[in-house]
Amino acid sequence: MAVERMSTGTNQVEVLDRVLDKGIVIDARLRVALAGIDLVGIDARMVVASLETYRKYEEVNLLERLLKV
């Protein structure tokens, strides 16, 4: 019985296209505390998107921050 493999090139291109179109945001927070006192805190945000998608995301973020004030 022969095993058929699907070409992953097209699938990878489709995934990359979707990621650049929609974008991915990874938000991470790390806190190191001793006896309830924060010793180290790290906040990180990584955005993977096309420049156009990132600009739209930032516009929405800015509007949300302005409306909260």
The structural domain count of the chain equals 1
CA-to-CA separations, 25 to 13, 46, 48, 57, in angstroms, rounded: 20, 6, 7, 10
Strands 37-48 and 24-34 turn out to be antiparallel
pTM above 0.85, yes or no: no
Q: State the angle between helix axes of 51-68 and 8-22 in degrees (0 to 180), rounded to the nearest 10.
A: 30
User: 41 has which bridge partners?
Assistant: 31
Task: Report angle CA 60, 65, 69 to the nearest 5 degrees.
Answer: 145
Q: Is 3 a member of any domain? A: no
* Residue span of the structural domain in which 60 resides: 8-68
1-37 pLDDT, tens digit each:
566 665 556 688 888 888 778 777 788 888 898 888 8
Question: What phi and psi, each to the nearest 5 degrees, are found at residue 37?
Answer: -110, 125
Asked whether residue 1 is domain-assigned, the answer is no
